Structure 1
Amino acid sequence: MAFFIDIIKGIFMGVANVIPGVSGGTMAVSLGIYDKFISSITGFFKDWKKSCKVLLPIVIGIGIGVIGFTYLIEYLLSQHTFVTCMTFVGLILGGLPMLYNDMRKKMVEKNKKLGIGNLIAFLLMFALVVGLPLLGVGSETSNVLEGTPLNMIILFFVGLIAAATMVIPGVSGSLVLMILGYYYGIINTIKNFLDSLKVLDINSLISGILVLAPFGIGILIGIGIIAKLIEYLFSKHSVMTYSAIFGLVLASPIAIFYNTGLYKHLGEVTFLRLIVGIILCVVGAGVTYYLGQKEV
């Protein structure tokens, strides 16, 4: 049962990573699997069997979420922006009680109290997430990226940067891709690869692999590097790290509303959409809270 619950949690993480402004790391925190996800990555070579047992269902879920939602993302954000955003706001905020309880436990364990340093860490991370979308979106690349040698090198480093941000709670990897100008190129390349797989178009599949392979390798290396850093921070500066994560998580709804352009059209939201959005927000929070309590 725990295996399938972790797959569901992984699906939420995968979906979150596809939506610009939504953080897969935040979703992992809200779902209560962040610590074990990070520790399984950093401890992979020490006990690969244990790490695989933890990572397998999560990775399967992430794959399902990314692939499945790749086809829906443009439609949902263009036709149902408000209710989609509200659902993810609920999913994110539903994990706050558990995050708070975890921080309180660490405070008791380390005999620490919240001070000015914790407030500064909170405000800095809050400002980071709110300010990141203000950097603007880079000019997009072609609809489907080509697997040229130069593109392969660039995509490796793009994957490296995006992966690092995907793991950090509150920071959206897809938003970073958008700022770098590669979001739609990657999304469309994934869709083109899946379409080619259906009809076994070998040439298109090879072209897709030449693009997605270096990007994927960059993601794996980036996750490994940042996971080591986060593990160190939790080990040596746990309460300060929790304070920073609170800032990242609480700022996420603002980033979501800004990056989707929803803030410009809030006055146009109909009463029905408002009610549906609020209901889905509450349901999303309940789902996250329930799944978080199922963490074992």
Structure 2
Amino acid sequence: MAVADSVPGVSGGTIAFLLGFYEKFINSAHNFLMGTNEERKAAFPFLFKLGIGWVAGFSVCVLILSTLFHTYIYEISSVFIGLTLIAVPIVIIEEKEYIKGKYLNLIFTAIGIAVVPLLMMLSPATGGSGVDLTQVSIGLAIYLFIAAIIAVSALVLPGISGSTLLLIMGLYIPLISAVSAVMHLDFAYVPMLIAFGLGMIAGLAISVKVIRHCFACYRPQTIYLCIGLLIGSLYAIALGSTTLAEPMPAMSWQTFNVGLCILGAAILAALQLLKKRTEKNVNMKRE
């Protein structure tokens, strides 16, 4: 999830959806932020383990992989395309009970497919680096707070990534640079990063409440929409290279790596098989 969230293109929510723990993530986040004390205690172990993995992955991306994304963006994107291509039939099979025969909801799939390219079209030619996050001001803090609410909403939704939206707002490069600086013990960026962090908490509370309600009350429509977002994310992945700090050409047949695409599909297929076996073992223990 952290690797996906760090790179413009696919969302960390997409990865959670592909690996089958998306709803558990949404419900746990909702219960931890707005539930009873008992619900918070029950949700904490899962969120703690997920959080440790996310922080570790994000730290690696900031410290090591940020340069590799520029050098091997097409290879990484090819893996994500493989993941996404096999994800669509997996989601359909997993959710067939809720979507079978409800084909009028394909309108939500069309909306999901259209949303990602429309948002990508708003992306500037470069990542933008003109915002100085060492300059503490009320106006910048409010802008960062609002931007974080918008970005984290995309982070938890399958489809376009929060990184892409931060690129649109000219904050992706400044924030990545600020996090990297703080990790190297330069604390001049801390006040504005705190403002952004508070916005992320607020955005997470709002978005998980809405998404949880949609899955509970409008599950077929939500699943059709998520399928559309997954399909639309292929466009975002292919154009992810154009939204880097130093833009590169969009992925073409020449830069697309078939072998790595197959590897991505194989990784998800293996994880899906592992998930099935784990569920089977859990059910056997309960019996």
User: Is TM-score (shorter-chain normalized) higher than 0.5?
Assistant: yes
CA distance in 2, matches of 1:54, 1:120: 34
CA distance in 1, matches of 2:267, 2:190: 35
Q: Which residue of 1 aligns with 2:102?
A: 114
Give 1:219 deviation, angstroms: 0.6
Would you say 1:237 and 2:218 are equivalent positions? yes
* Cα distance change, pair 188–228 in 1 and its aligned pair in 2 (3 A): same
Calculate the aligned-residue CA RMSD, in Å.
Answer: 2.3
Give 1:263 deviation, angstroms: 6.0
The Cα offsets for residues 44-63 of structure 1, whole Å up to 9 and x where unpaired, read as 22211111022111111111
CA distance in 1, matches of 2:160, 2:75: 21
Q: Map 1:154-169; keep pairs closer than 5 Å.
A: 154-169=143-158
Would you say 1:34 and 2:22 are equivalent positions? yes
* Cα distance change, pair 122–275 in 1 and its aligned pair in 2 (3 A): closer
Q: Map 1:203-214; keep pairs closer than 5 Å.
A: 204-205=186-187, 207-214=188-195
CA distance in 2, matches of 1:147, 1:102: 49
1:21–1:259 contact (8 Å) kept in structure 2: yes
Q: What amino acid is the match of 1:67?
A: S
CA distance in 1, matches of 2:261, 2:93: 25
| Paired positions, count | 268
Under a length normalisation based on structure 1, what TM-score does the superposition of the two structures give?
Answer: 0.82
2:112–2:228 contact (8 Å) kept in structure 1: yes
Q: Which residue of 2 aligns with 1:3?
A: none
1:155–1:211 contact (8 Å) kept in structure 2: yes
* Cα distance change, pair 115–263 in 1 and its aligned pair in 2 (3 A): farther
Give 1:81 deviation, angstroms: 2.0
The Cα offsets for residues 115-139 of structure 1, whole Å up to 9 and x where unpaired, read as 22x1110001100012211112277
The Cα offsets for residues 78-115 of structure 1, whole Å up to 9 and x where unpaired, read as 211221101122233443344223321334xxxx6222
Q: Which residue of 2 aligns with 1:50?
A: 42
Give 1:172 deviation, angstroms: 0.9
Any unmatched runs of 5+ in structure 2? Answer: 243-247, 283-287
Q: Which residue of 2 aligns with 1:128?
A: 115
Question: Secondary structure of the residue that 1:95 maps to in structure 2?
Answer: helix
CA distance in 2, matches of 1:154, 1:208: 15
Q: Map 1:1-296; keep pairs closer than 5 Å.
A: 13-44=1-32, 45-46=35-36, 47-107=39-99, 113-116=101-104, 118-137=105-124, 140-142=128-130, 145-149=133-137, 150-196=139-185, 204-205=186-187, 207-261=188-242, 264=250, 266=252, 268-269=254-255, 274=257, 276-290=259-273, 292-293=275-276, 294=278
Q: What amino acid is the match of 1:245?
A: C
Any unmatched runs of 5+ in structure 1? Answer: 1-12, 197-203
1:18–1:73 contact (8 Å) kept in structure 2: no
Identity %: 28
